[in-house]
Amino acid sequence: MRARTLRLGILAGTAFLLYLFGAYVLASTGVANLPLSFGTTDAFRGFVIGITLLVLTFLGVLATGVLKKRQRNERAQSLPNTN
């Protein structure tokens, strides 16, 4: 049960990070004007923002895989032994 709750929390965080990355890409290409001057940052700062969002999203995906394996192990332990 705890693994499922953690997985849902990580998925929500990953979805939010993907939203931020999409907003960053739209702002840096000039398609959309967003607050907090995302589109007017210098090149290095924009690169750091983009890489940070990608790394955090990647870590969220990896954590989801680990929790999925953990949830499978918890489910296997909770099933009664029929032998």
Q: Does some domain include residue 79?
A: no
Domain that holds residue 16: 2-72
Q: Which residue has the tokens 């929500």?
A: 12
Q: Does some domain include residue 61?
A: yes
Q: Does some domain include residue 37?
A: yes
Total count of domains within the chain: 1
Q: Does some domain include residue 82?
A: no
Contact 55, 21 (CB under 8 A): no
Integer Cα distance of 46 and 61 in angstroms: 23
Integer Cα distance of 74 and 19 in angstroms: 32
pLDDT at residue number 34:
65
Q: Which residue has the tokens 């680990």?
A: 66
Integer Cα distance of 68 and 6 in angstroms: 10
Q: Does some domain include residue 80?
A: no
Q: What is the mean pLDDT of each run of 10 residues along the chain (83 residues)?
A: 76 84 78 63 75 85 82 74 63
Q: Does some domain include residue 6?
A: yes
